[in-house]
Structure 1
Amino acid sequence: MTCDFHALAAPGVRNLQPYQPGKPESELRREYGLSDIVKLASNENPLGPSPRAITAIHAALGDLARYPDGNGFELKTALSTRLGLPMSMLTLGNGSNDVLELVARAFLTSEHEAVFSEHAFAVYPIVTQAIGATARIAKAHPLKHAMPCGHDPAALLALVNDRTRVVFIANPNNPTGTWLTAAELQGLLEAIPPTVIVVVDEAYFEYVEPETDCPNTLRWLDRFPNLVVTRTFSKAYGLAGLRVGYAISHPAIADLLNRVRQPFNVNSLALVAATAALDDTSHLEQGRAVNRAGMQQLQEACRQWGLSW
């Protein structure tokens, strides 16, 4: 007799739809018989990792029998220096995706709600539902808005109530490529109660000009202790295959996130590669330049084809 394992699962898991990542090139070759493939689905860095990261990985290969540093001291030290913030405000994750789940595990329950925009990162509803919490999805701006399909601050705020525990905001947003201005984001932070954790997901932060395109959210950490900023090494630093990201928050929030974090959630190669990549600012700038050139190329093609954006 077969057991009904579906009935045994946690309520939030039973109807959960798993995240569908972009298919790897090897699978596309098998499925469609293709040989010349340009993969665009996952926003991966065409330059790949910094040469310094590659060197650091090779140097660490002899220590793979050892567990990684569960506290990530060297990477936290480098981040602390770069950001000008104490290590007590940092939480490392297996990609920023992991850190987003840590927020859900630490603060959401079946009695609480998470608020996010309808065209936001697909992980927000997944981590919310998996924990058994309720997702409240705000309508996005219309297509004819200056930020088409982007976050509508008023719509987000309208869904915040006594049951709200977390608000997820990707800035800039994936997949719409839109963003909230400094005034809009500050207005949200001022209006949202201090008992609600506001997560600003900055996975693409390195590709924008702070204070010109998007606000530098870190400047608000002292004023808004309920603010959590997440970033990743997967995009601009080209380390998507190693999975390493981090959160910046009030030390009390970081303490709670670290309580639910797996002991060795970031592997040894990811730790040394991220530390080395952080120091290679020239490679980062080269990647930013390539991205800007690609945007211009796409815009020019759209003009030639009579397409608006």
Structure 2
Amino acid sequence: MSCDYLSRANKGISKLQPYQAGKPIEELERELGIKDIIKLASNENPLGFPASAKQAITKHLDELTFYPDANGFSLKKAISEKFKVKQEQITLGNGSNDLIELIARTFVHDEDEVIFAQYAFIVYPLVTQALNAKAVVVPAKNWGHDLPAMLAAITDKTKLVVVANPNNPTGTFLESAELEQFIKQVPENVLVVLDEAYTEFTPVSRRAPSLQWVDKYPNLIVCRTFSKAYGLAGLRIGYAVSSPEIMGILNRVRQPFNCNSLALVAAEAVLADDAYLAKAYENNLAGLKLITEFCEQEKLPYIPSMGNFITIDFGKPAQPIYQQLLQKGVIVRPIAGYGMPNHLRISIGLPEQNQRLINGLKEILN
């Protein structure tokens, strides 16, 4: 090949590496020739696809010859009514990842600054680098966000500050008062992106009223997803809530039909399925308790989590433990790419899956 096409790409992309997703079950089956594999790697909902979403999809299958509603009117209406926000504040996306990328692509220019925390979701630096912007990584405090340090890092070049609450991959959580105090102090010309992909796993009494904050703080954008607690990861659907002005700007850049028809109707159905959401919350709470008790018994340090996963410190390179778990048919997530080579992030599964993980770890460690 005579042409160096990488040199023709946008400048920031030349230093990027592709995002590494969790290992699929089918891939492990091919590699090791084993069956009965469980995947506790990608923070998916272990309860399975919601029956309410399946019914909605079945009802609309014959409509797939038509383009989806480009504006997602019906889903926006459901989100508006459930969370008491205006429809003109809502932007729909192909998962919350798509929305974060859309926000950055809309507002961040070459050599602008984007602030996020050390150990934050790896998509933030990927998007920043792709735009050839400057990533300002603020050292973590107790594995989570150091909000005063993030505030101090803001300069006249800062366009975005991204905060994940709870944070992935560490599971750390910011209390409502602390978070609002931070947002209040961010200059109005700097956008604050609050990534709440895991908010449904937090206790309602401690959950920030972030969607209502949008009216008070016009530079705030809240992103949420249907991939985690709502069980629709394979359909890729999420939403952002912002001021109508920001929503209007995002809509200038958003791809037409960026959410498919089945995702739209499934999300609307599961949004009303309170029983499914409650069951997901309770299963997660019980699973976290079981695994944290195991860690305490084994004297394994772990990061207390408010997500649907837990990150464990094995005190030595965790890759060999990850590989041994694969041999037992248990897929978890190594996170050396986050600068945490001694840790594994483990998604909460069904009770029998959590116990199988614990049994496997006991055999490996003892």
Counterparts of 1:183 and 1:279 in 2: how far apart (Å)?
29
Q: What letter matches 1:233 in structure 2?
A: F
CA contact (8 A) 1:118 1:138 kept: yes
Q: Aligned residues: percent identity? A: 52
* Partner SS for 2:161: strand
Residue among 226, 232, 235 paired with 1:242: 235
Q: Does 1:222 align with 2:215?
A: yes
Q: What letter matches 2:28 in structure 1?
A: L
After superposition, the C-alpha distances for 1:242-265 in whole angstroms (9 at most, x for unaligned) are 000000000001111111111010
Structure 1: segments with no counterpart, 5+ residues = 142-147
Counterparts of 1:97 and 1:131 in 2: how far apart (Å)?
15
Q: What letter matches 1:33 in structure 2?
A: G
CA deviation after TM superposition for structure 1 residue 293, in Å: 0.8
CA contact (8 A) 1:210 1:216 kept: no
CA deviation after TM superposition for structure 1 residue 211, in Å: 4.2
CA contact (8 A) 2:92 2:99 kept: yes
Q: Describe how 1:160-309 pairs up with structure 2 within 5 A.
A: 160-212=154-206, 214-309=207-302
CA deviation after TM superposition for structure 1 residue 305, in Å: 1.5
CA deviation after TM superposition for structure 1 residue 127, in Å: 1.0
Counterparts of 2:2 and 2:197 in 1: how far apart (Å)?
43
* Partner SS for 1:221: helix
Q: Does 1:99 align with 2:135?
A: no
CA deviation after TM superposition for structure 1 residue 9, in Å: 0.7
Counterparts of 2:5 and 2:84 in 1: how far apart (Å)?
49
CA contact (8 A) 1:189 1:224 kept: yes
Q: What letter matches 1:68 in structure 2?
A: P
* Partner SS for 1:91: strand
Q: What letter matches 1:123 in structure 2?
A: V
Counterparts of 2:248 and 2:96 in 1: how far apart (Å)?
17
Q: Does 1:14 align with 2:14?
A: yes
Q: What letter matches 2:151 in structure 1?
A: L
Q: What letter matches 1:13 in structure 2?
A: I
TM-score of the superposed pair, with normalisation by structure 1: 0.95
After superposition, the C-alpha distances for 1:132-173 in whole angstroms (9 at most, x for unaligned) are 2111000001xxxxxx30111122112110000000000011
Residue among 142, 157, 160 paired with 2:151: 157
Q: Describe how 1:34-53 pairs up with structure 2 within 5 A.
A: 34-53=34-53
Counterparts of 1:28 and 1:236 in 2: how far apart (Å)?
25
Structure 2: segments with no counterpart, 5+ residues = 303-366
* Partner SS for 2:47: coil
After superposition, the C-alpha distances for 1:32-88 in whole angstroms (9 at most, x for unaligned) are 222121111100000123211000111111111111111001100100110111100
CA contact (8 A) 1:171 1:200 kept: yes
CA contact (8 A) 1:49 1:277 kept: no
Q: What letter matches 1:215 in structure 2?
A: A
Counterparts of 2:39 and 2:88 in 1: how far apart (Å)?
38
Counterparts of 2:23 and 2:132 in 1: how far apart (Å)?
29
- State the 4+ residue runs in structure 1 displaced beyond 2 angstroms: 306-309
Counterparts of 1:31 and 1:297 in 2: how far apart (Å)?
30
TM-score of the superposed pair, with normalisation by structure 2: 0.81
Q: What letter matches 1:149 in structure 2?
A: W
Q: Which residue of 2 aligns with 1:72?
A: 72
Q: Which residue of 2 aligns with 1:144?
A: none
CA contact (8 A) 2:85 2:212 kept: no
* Partner SS for 1:241: helix
Q: Which residue of 1 aligns with 2:58?
A: 58
Deviates more, 1:30-39 or 1:154-163: 30-39
Q: Describe how 1:117-136 pairs up with structure 2 within 5 A.
A: 117-136=117-136
* Partner SS for 1:105: helix
CA contact (8 A) 2:85 2:211 kept: no
Aligned residue pair count? 302
Q: What letter matches 1:244 in structure 2?
A: I
Q: What letter matches 1:10 in structure 2?
A: N
CA contact (8 A) 2:194 2:222 kept: yes
